[in-house]
Amino acid sequence: MSWGEADRSLPEQLGTDMTPLRPMRGHAMSATGSATNWRSIGACLSADPDLFFPISSVGPAERQIARAKKICAGCAVRRECLDFALSHDPIYGIWGGTTAEDRQRERRRKRRAAAAARRRAAA
């Protein structure tokens, strides 16, 4: 998958294939109610939480991000996690297999698509 594919949304790029659940730790540690119950089954619950909160996006952190994204790729609640992050951005860390930078690109893509739709409607 290439994050440079500006014409496809993140959910489209991520696809819908989900593997079975694994026991965990990560973002699910903060599950507080029914609206966030998806967190209690996130694949990151059994992972090192530091993987999901890299201190940069370059150097050794790139391996950390890649490992976190690999865990997210097999997470059964990846879509819910991504939706949460997109609706609560700016939010730090890796959510739904995306970094803050990935989500920023997604917001820009949506703004451009909305502007293009408005121009088409006005024409």
Q: Single out the residue of 14, 81, 86, 102 in contact with ligand SF4 (rule: CB under 6 A).
A: 81
Q: Is 62 helix (H, G, I), strand (E, B) or coil?
A: helix
Q: Single out the residue of 75, 86, 99, 106 in contact with ligand SF4 (rule: CB under 6 A).
A: 75
Identify which range of 4-12, 29-37, 40-48, 110-118 contacts ligand SF4 by CB under 6 A.
Answer: 40-48
> Is 54 a binder of ligand SF4 (CB under 6 A)?
no
Smaller CB separation from ligand SF4, 34 or 114:
34
Specify the amino acid at residue 46. Answer: S
**Where in 6-25 is the site for ligand SF4 (CB under 6 A)?**
none
